[in-house]
Amino acid sequence: MTAPADRGDRRSSWVPQAAGSGYDADNLPYGVVSFGGDSPRVAARIGDFVVDLAPIAALEMLPQTELLAEPSLAELFAAGPPVWASVRRWLVGLVSDPAERSVVEPYLFPLSEVTPHLPFAVADYVDFYCSLDHASNVGKIFRPDAEPLLPNWRHLPVGYHGRAGTVVASGAEIRRPCGQRKQPEADAPTFGPSRRLDMEAELGFVVGVSTPLGSPVSPGAFAEHVFGVTLLNDWSARDIQAWEYVPLGPFLGKSFATSISPWITPLVAMESARTPLPRQAPEPLPYLRVEEPAGYDIEVTVRCNNTVVSHPPYAAMYWSPAQMLAHLTSNGASLRTGDLFASGTISGAERDQRGSFLELSWGGRDEVQLADGSSRTFLEDGDEVTLSATCPGALGGRIALGDVTGRILPA
């Protein structure tokens, strides 16, 4: 799972207030933004500013100028690791070398003055179920008298195909979904708004380089195909999900909306966050074996209406992203540029590390207290959920993943 080397000179940025922030020169996530009335195009975030990359690339006659003028990151994703590394070296130089300041400043805009967009069109979307603590909690909630984990869980990364067309960028409002729900004491289901609307704190991985049908990807080739990482909120209607998911799994209870950050952090920026996985027992089959460190030390924070309700630790995840990708393609399924696969809910062993209200409220039994004096078991109309995250960066501090926010609208 070796990533291309980051050949930046490890200097902090000259951009005002960027040095030592979560968006210093060792981060530099990419997004797609509009500058005033201009058409959307590729940009990079540095501190609380964005750099309009295409005009600078044109001035310097960079071969990748056309990729940076696109209204999507897809062309950059598809260009592959050598181009990713080349563009990143150039970008690190622009924001860390004071001699470049006069070149960059005319194309440096405050974050508050640009409009972010969904950074790429999602090709396929797969959601996994890779947290041992989350899977165990869910098993205890729904099957209190049985073994929490089903027999296959420790042998493969369990997942399902989601709906690519309902992946939205942070800031999009989320309409409470309607569907069939059945009360335990009722003889038949009813149709109406979900009464147990939930969120899930997850990490999403974005595929850059495609593969032909019939060509599995080994865990060691992970960084040859995956461009970067985004925070992801897998909104979930638990009552709809509970009624429909047997025997084929999640469907309408999940497919109404999934939110991602507008900023995609390159995988190479997260090299300093690499950490060993928890012990996997039994040992995975050969096609799923990884070289350590295969996990990532990422600390997630979940806020509901500005109250911190959870701190899920990604380092606790049982299955690694390289194993997810290997299993996803093990039957020969092809990859497409813009494929998105998610980790499943990130949860840790402690109560304040649970990454969903399903777990925080223990299936609706316990109330979650908010700072305004109110409490929740599941989400109410008007609630706003924000996910944020940080991890170790190459400059010795912590880099930030772009926030993901969504507000619930009535059905």
- Hey, is 64 helix, strand or coil? coil
- Residue where the block lists tokens 């470049």: 100
- Take residue 225 and report the two structure tokens written for it: 């195909």
Q: Which of 138, 139, 125, 132 is nearest to 155 (CA)?
A: 132
Cis preceding-peptide flag for 293 (omega within 30 of 0): yes
Name residue 187's amino acid. Answer: D
Please check whether residue 81 is in contact with residue 22, taking contact to mean a CB–CB distance below 8 angstroms: no
- Hey, is 395 helix, strand or coil? coil
Catalytic residue status for 134: yes
HSE, CB side, 13 Å, CA atoms: give it for residue 51: 32
Please check whether residue 281 is in contact with residue 154, taking contact to mean a CB–CB distance below 8 angstroms: yes
Please report, for residues 228, 238, 333, the alpha-carbon distance to residue 318 in angstroms, rounded to integers and kept in the order given: 20, 24, 23
- Residue where the block lists tokens 């300093």: 272
Between strands 398-409 and 174-175, the pairing is parallel
Please check whether residue 408 is in contact with residue 380, taking contact to mean a CB–CB distance below 8 angstroms: yes
Which residue among the candidates 134, 155, 161, 327 is catalytic per the annotation? 134
Catalytic (active-site) positions: 134
